[in-house]
Every structure is written in C-alpha cells, then in structure tokens.
Structure 1
C-alpha cells in the first residue's frame, strides 16, 4: 500500500533506523542524510518517511509532503552554506533517469560548479 513502509526498501530501513546513515535533518515527515557516493561537496538525499515509489506518485498522492521535501531541501542548502553559490534539487523518476532506489527522494547538490548537463 502506498505510504506504508516496505520491508525490502533501503530508504524505509534508513527512516526506521535499521540501516545507518549520516542524518543531517529530520522532521515529522522527512529525513535528510548524506549520499554515500557524493557527486558534489554537498550531496544530501531528502526522503519522505512515507513510502512512495517515485516523485510523481508522491506528488499525486500527497502534495503537502512533496512541499515538505522541497522545504527541507532549502534548509539543507542553508545549513551547508550553499545558498549563496547555488544548489541543484534533483528528482530522478524511473530507471532511465537514474532512479535506483524505488522510494521517492530528492538530491540536494552544491558546493561546486554544476554545469548542465549534470554530472
């Protein structure tokens, strides 16, 4: 069922504290933690505590929770002091776009030049 924790989901396990992560922020609805394979000096994932397969599914089901993720992305950027130099917020949706964990999440990237295309 959408929103319910999934036993085989890595991010659900991180949210539950069953898998360690370097958590930088936590709210009632979200958890933000450092990426284990950072692509920039600031690379933090922000995930909803509720399980949704991808960003589009999350946005359709719970627009307020989607807004919570975006607000937390801004807080992460402020705490990592990348607001002044700029940062990127990325939702990968689908395997063709690079989504590898099937739990909606966004990436906050900053702290270096982020030319387009990303990488």
Structure 2
C-alpha cells in the first residue's frame, strides 16, 4: 500500500537505518543521501520517508510530500554549493526511464556541465 514501508525496499531500509547510507540531510518527511554510483561530483538522492513506488504516484497521492522533496533538493544544492552554478533534479519514473529502485526519489546532480537533451 502506498505510504506504508515495504520490507523488500532498499530505500525503506535506509530510512529505518537497516541499510547504511551517507546521509547529508534529514527532515521529518525526507532523507537525502549520497548515491553509491555517482554520475556527477554532486549526486545526492532525496527520498520521502514514506514509501511511494514512483514520482507519479507520489504526486497524486501525497502532493505536499512531493513539494517537500523538491524543497529539500534545493537545500541539498545549496549545502553542496552547486546552487550558484546550476544543478539538475531528476525523477526517473518507470524502468524505461532508468528507475531501478521502486521508491520515489529525486536525483540532485551538480558540479559539472550537463548536455541538453539528456541522453
């Protein structure tokens, strides 16, 4: 059920502390941690503490939580000092878009240039 922790979810296990992660920020509703396979000098994931399988479901069922994630993405960018040079926030939704963990999450990427359109 959306919003409920899932026993087989890697990110739910990070939220509970059962799986270690390098946490960079935490609020009542979100956790931000470094990606284990960074694609840029700054690559931090911002996730809701509540489980939603993807960004589309999160936006429909918990729009305020979706806003919390975007706000935290901006805070991460400021903390990582990439807010002045530019950063990218990416939600991959579905396997065709590259989503591999079925818990909604935003990638905050910065510290290098990015091409458009993304590849």
Establish whether TM, by shorter chain, passes 0.5: yes
TM alignment of 1:1-119, pairs within 5 A: 1-118=1-118
CA distance in 2, matches of 1:44, 1:23: 9
Give 5+ residue unaligned stretches, structure 2: none
1:66 CA displacement:
0.2
What is the TM-score with the length of structure 2 in the denominator?
0.98
CA RMSD of aligned residues (A): 0.7
CA distance in 1, matches of 2:75, 2:84: 13
1:118 CA displacement:
3.0
1:2 CA displacement:
0.9
CA distance in 1, matches of 2:52, 2:83: 28
What is the TM-score with the length of structure 1 in the denominator?
0.98
Give 5+ residue unaligned stretches, structure 1: none
1:99 CA displacement:
0.2
Q: How many matched pairs?
A: 119
